Amino acid sequence: MAKPTADAPWQVEDVVLPWPASLEGLSSRATTGAPSERAKPEDLSLRAKRGNPSSTEPPTDPLVTRYLDHVRFEKRLAERTCTLYRLDLIRLADMSEASQVPLLQVQTGHIRRWVAQMHSAGRTGRGIALILSGWRGFYTWLGREGLIGHNPVVDVRAPRVAKPLPKALGVDEAVQLAEHEENDDDPWLEARDAAMVELLYGCGLRVAELTGLDVLPSAEASRAGRGWIDVQNAEVQVQGKGGKRRSVPLGSAAIEALTHWLAVRTQVPGMLTQATPGASPASLALFPGHRGTRLTARSVELRLKRRSQLAGLATPVHPHMLRHSFASHVLQSSGDLRAVQELLGHANITTTQVYTRLDFQHLAKAYDAAHPRAKRK
C-alpha cells in the first residue's frame, strides 16, 4: 500500500475488510462505536417501512429542539449521546402524536402503555431502560422550566432482564492481539493500529476517549472535551462520561507503541506536532485517518475487528471488549476494586463490581481445572 501524499490521497478510509460477510450489518448501528440497545439491528434497515426516526432526522417539536440544545451546549454531552437522545425523543413525539396527546399532557399511564408496546414489539428490557432514561431527562428539564408539574416517567421502570456479563478476552488472547504485527499493511498504518490496541487494552479507554486524544495539551482541547497523551510522564489525560477528567498511567508497551507511532504520524498529510495558530483541531489528532481527519469510533471498530481476525482470534474484537479485558485482568492480578474504578472512570463502584463476577468466573475455571475434588470421574 502506497504512502499517502497531498497529490494522491487514498480514496478509501483505511482498508477493505478481507471477508465479504464482514460488511453485513454495517447499517444496523445507530451511531459510531459499539451497537446500541436503543437502535436494534432491524430498526435502521427498516426505519422507512416502520416510520422509525433516523439519526439525522430533525425533531419537529420545538420543546424537543430546545432540550437537545440544552444537553448539547449547556450540559455539553457527547455528540453520540445527543444523537441517541434525539432518536429517543423523536420516538416519544411520534407516540404522543399517534395517541393524540401533547407532550406536555403525557401521563404515567401513557408511558406505561408505550413501554408495553415496545416490549411486545420485541425490544429488550435494556433497550427500553435506555429510552426511558432519555425520556425521564426530558421531562425533568420540562419541570425545571416550569412547564409541567409532574414527571410522568419517574415511576416507570423497564421490564427486568438478567444482566449479562461483559465480554472479555482471556489473558493469552489479549496478549496475542496486542503482539500481532500486520506486515502487509503500510508501516505507518500498522504503527497507528498497534498503538490504538495498546491504549485500548493497556489503559482501558473508551473508544470515544481514544478518538478524542491529541498529541499535546491545549486550552482548546480542554474546552472541547478532548484528552491528550504525555509520553514523557507516562500518562494519558482523558475526559470521560459526564465531562469528568482522569489520568491513566501508560505502561511500557504502550509507551513503546506510541513512540513508534509518533515517529511516523507526520507522514499523514496535515498532521502537526505543535499547536499552530489557525490550524485545524484535527491537525493535532493522535489518531488520524488517511485524509488527515480524526478517526471516528466506527473506523476504530472496523480496524480492530479486522486486526483481531488476522491475529487468529476466534471472536471478532470490538473496542469495549478490550476495556472489559483491561478491567478484568487488572482485577484478577490486584484484587483492588477501587483502583479499577478509578482507572475506568466509573462514578459509582457498583458499575465496576460487575467485573468481580468475571473474576469469580476465572477462579471457578481455575478450580475446576486444578482441584482434584472438582474433576469428574
Catalytic choice (72, 80, 126, 241): 241
- Is 365 a catalytic site residue? no
Output the 3-class SS for 288-319.
ECCCCCECCHHHHHHHHHHHHHHCCCCCCCCH
- Is 346 a catalytic site residue? yes
- Is 206 a catalytic site residue? yes
Integer Cα distance of 333 and 187 in angstroms? 34
Catalytic choice (29, 265, 320, 329): 320
Catalytic choice (40, 323, 324, 329): 323
- Is 323 a catalytic site residue? yes
Could you tell me where the beta strands, DSSP code E, fall in 194-346?
213-214, 227-230, 235-239, 245-249
Catalytic choice (110, 192, 206, 318): 206
- Is 355 a catalytic site residue? yes
CA atoms within 13 A on the CB side of 115: 24
Residues 6+ apart with CB under 8 A from 72: 79, 82
Task: Give the bridge partners for 228, in sequence order.
Answer: 214, 237
One-letter identity of residue 289: G
Cβ atoms of 200 and 322 within 8 Å: the answer is yes
Integer Cα distance of 52 and 245 in angstroms? 36
Integer Cα distance of 49 and 303 in angstroms? 32
Q: Report residue 214 CA to chain centroid gap.
A: 18
**The three grid cell numbers given for residue 253, joined into one nine-digit string:** 508497551
Integer Cα distance of 177 and 27 in angstroms? 27
Task: Give the bridge partners for 235, in sequence order.
Answer: 230, 249
- Is 320 a catalytic site residue? yes
Q: Is 278 left (phi over 0), alpha (psi -120 to 50) or beta?
A: left
Catalytic choice (67, 139, 201, 355): 355
Catalytic choice (110, 192, 265, 346): 346
Cβ atoms of 253 and 265 within 8 Å: the answer is no
Helix, strand and coil percent figures for the chain, each rounded to 5? 55, 5, 40
Integer Cα distance of 187 and 310 in angstroms? 16
If you count them, how many residues does the chain have? 377
Integer Cα distance of 340 and 312 in angstroms? 29
Mind telling me the catalytic residues?
A: 206, 241, 320, 323, 346, 355
